[in-house]
Amino acid sequence: MPPVKTVEVPARVGVLGSVTLGLPEVIQRVLASDRDLVISRILREEASYSVKGARGVYDARLGLNASKVKSVTPVTSLIGGSANGKLTSAQFIVDPQLSGLFPALGGSYKVDFSSARQASGSTFLTLNPQYPTSLNFSLSQPLLRGLLYDDNRHRIAVAKKNVQLTNEQFRQRVTDVITQAVQAYWELDFAYRNLQVQTQAVTLAEQQDASNRRQVTQGLLAPSDVVATQTQLATFQQNVFSAQQTLTVAENNLKSLMLPDRTDLMWGMALQPEDRDNSRAALPALDEAVKTALAGRPELAESQLAIEVNQLDARLSRDQAKAQIDAVASVSSTGVAGRVIGQANPFTSSLGPIINGINSLNAAAGLPPLVVSSGTSTIAPVFVGGYGQSLSVLGNHDYTTAQIGVQMSLPLRNRTAQAQVAVAGAEGRRLKAVRQQIEMAVELDVRNSLQAVSSARGRLDAAATAREYAERQYGSEQRQFQAGTSTVFLVLQRQTDLIAGRTREVRARADLGQATASLDRATARTIESQGIQLQ
């Protein structure tokens, strides 16, 4: 009887070579290629910049006001300071300022130095031009609202919490990526070994077919026995093609995680996983595993950070509900100097003819003459000089004004602030309820993951035992068949059992690897167990 038609298994599409990969290398490649991790790193960087930006509110601010003014105003009265009806004045002002906020108690300060040059055509001036200067310092300090906490400090505190939040989100993403990589690796391991098992099945069926055909030739078996063997052989050949497809899918899934782009040369390589013994480390006790998970799970840390941010919001709302009472103080010192001009006082100089007439009458009557000042003014020598003399007067602090006081704003009801306090309290209760939900989910996840690893270990041990006994049964059935005490049907049945046992063993082996990865994720030990260092 002719042998069954040989079906050649073609090479897999696009596979030109082979490379052996271990799990650590796979994890490193996946971490390096994941775009979401790149985004998470950028978000962490942005969060640190936000803290720096929030602190910038306390940076001192330097300002400058400078102006030059010339004005010509009409004068229509004697006391206007101009005899021709036109008063011209020019002024140049420079006013640098330094202001800022105190980070500790919410106060503010401002230092203001003003200097000017003033020139005028007024006939009343004694100093022209003159150089007025002043140095002013003012301080405002909250006594109630804004004393211990305010909006600026709130923004800094929230920005710091956001840095911690992005760190936890980064840890969460790294954990998810590693878990995904490990599970994809074990899926590839199963597909690779399953193809080997199915290929071995075809080899066993071909050997059995050749043996049966020899015995048909010798008249020891009926032709129907060969047909049964060849039917099984054709079934095993179909399984090889299915296993090859499964391997290709698993391999491409892992490549899509590992490789940075579609042009990477590794797309054309077959990935062969290294032989790797499944860890049989002792399983942690349930209470210990749950405790570890509650202490380390990123989603719980994120929930706690949300609660802490809410507490900061509530603190700010309570502070805004207080009365506004501020202590204010200011100190101002002034100086002035200028060039003395000798010009007549228009009030007295216009009385000249009248004075002369009075003196003529006094002389005729033998009375002393009337003496009236010429109208020129005198000024203290300290005020005579230029800009430098004005600064000298300013520096002596002889002309100083100081003020201290309290400003108060007492809202009668302040319903807006009260509502904000109530909203923050309600949000806090909601976040605590959400955290309880997450804790319940963590408890469920840890329990299921522990059971999955325990069951996977049991299945692997049972599958290894079943495969060992199936090999023994198959060998025994072969010997009985050669001795003529068994049938082709029983041999093929043992052969099927053997292949099924080997398939279940490699499946259980991969399931244990995936269950272990899930347990590491559930107990927040993924990064530690894989030896990954986060920077």
Give the rounded percent of residues in the chain with a pLDDT score beyond 90: 62
* Helices 151-217 and 23-33, axial angle in degrees (round to 10): 130
Band the pLDDT of 4: cuts 50, 70, 90. Answer: low
* pLDDT tens track for 473-504: 999 999 998 888 888 889 999 999 999 999 99
Strands (E), 22-154: 61-74, 86-101, 108-120, 127-130, 133-142
Tally of CA atoms within 13 A in the half-sphere of 192 that contains its CB: 21
Is the same domain home to 139 and 277? no
User: Rounded to 5 degrees, what are φ and ψ at 405?
Assistant: -165, -175
Does residue 204 lie in a domain region? Answer: yes
Q: Compare 251 and 122 and report the one with higher pLDDT.
A: 251
CB atoms within 10 A of CB 284: 17
d(CA 431, CA 308): 10
Average pLDDT, rounded, for the chain: 89
Band the pLDDT of 515: cuts 50, 70, 90. Answer: very high
Is the same domain home to 98 and 172? no
Q: Stretch 92-117: mean pLDDT, rounded? A: 93
Does residue 353 lie in a domain region? Answer: no
Q: Which domain holds residue 238?
A: 21-53+152-318+416-529
d(CA 360, CA 353): 11
What pLDDT sits at residue 278? 64
Helix (H) or strand (E) holding 326, with range, is strand 324-335
Is the CB of residue 132 less than 8 Å from the CB of residue 116?
A: yes
Is the CB of residue 113 less than 8 Å from the CB of residue 98?
A: no
Is the same domain home to 388 and 496? no
Does residue 348 lie in a domain region? Answer: no
How many angstroms separate the Cα of 155 from the Cα of each of 59, 151, 323, 466?
Answer: 15, 6, 21, 64
CB atoms within 10 A of CB 227: 14
Is the same domain home to 294 and 227? yes
Does residue 14 lie in a domain region? Answer: no
Q: Which tokens sit at 401?
A: 């004004």
Does residue 435 lie in a domain region? Answer: yes
Residue 488 burial (10 A CB sphere; 0-12, 13-18, 19+): buried
Q: Compare 336 and 347 and report the one with higher pLDDT.
A: 336
CB atoms within 10 A of CB 122: 15
What pLDDT sits at residue 93? 93
Query: Which CATH number does the domain housing residue 499 bear?
Result: 1.20.1600.10
Is the same domain home to 298 and 388? no
Q: Which residues of 295-330 are buried (b: 16+ CB within 10 A; e: fewer)?
A: ebbbbbbbbbbbbbbbebbbbbbbbbbbeebbeeeb
Does residue 350 lie in a domain region? Answer: no
Peptide bond into 129 cis (omega under 30): yes
Flag whether pLDDT at 252 surpasses 60.
Answer: yes
Q: Which tokens sit at 243?
A: 């296993």
What pLDDT sits at residue 275? 79
CB atoms within 10 A of CB 208: 23
Instruction: Please report, in angstroms and rounded to a whole number, the separation of the first and last CA atoms in the chain.
Output: 69
Band the pLDDT of 518: cuts 50, 70, 90. Answer: very high
pTM to 2 decimal places? 0.80
Does residue 7 lie in a domain region? Answer: no
From the centroid of its chain, how far is CA 399?
Answer: 55
d(CA 54, CA 153): 8
Residue with tokens 């910038």: 56
- The answer to whether the Cα torsion of 496, 500, 506, 507 is positive or negative is positive
d(CA 252, CA 82): 97
Is the same domain home to 467 and 492? yes
Is the same domain home to 464 and 383? no
Is the same domain home to 391 and 337? yes
d(CA 429, CA 145): 26
> Across-strand partners of 333?
135, 400
- Angle (nearest 5°) at CA 249 between 245 and 252: 135
Is the same domain home to 304 and 336? no
What pLDDT sits at residue 333? 93
* pLDDT tens track for 120-160: 877 777 888 899 999 999 999 999 999 999 999 999 999 99
Band the pLDDT of 168: cuts 50, 70, 90. Answer: very high
User: Rounded to 5 degrees, what are φ and ψ at 290?
Assistant: -65, -40
Number of independent structural domains in the chain: 2
Instruction: Please provide the DSSP assignment of 376-387 as one string.
Output: -----GGGBSSH
Q: Which tokens sit at 239?
A: 């399984």
Does residue 355 lie in a domain region? Answer: no
Is the same domain home to 400 and 502? no
Is the same domain home to 117 and 166? no
Is the same domain home to 309 and 443? yes
* pLDDT tens track for 265-287: 999 999 999 877 665 778 999 99
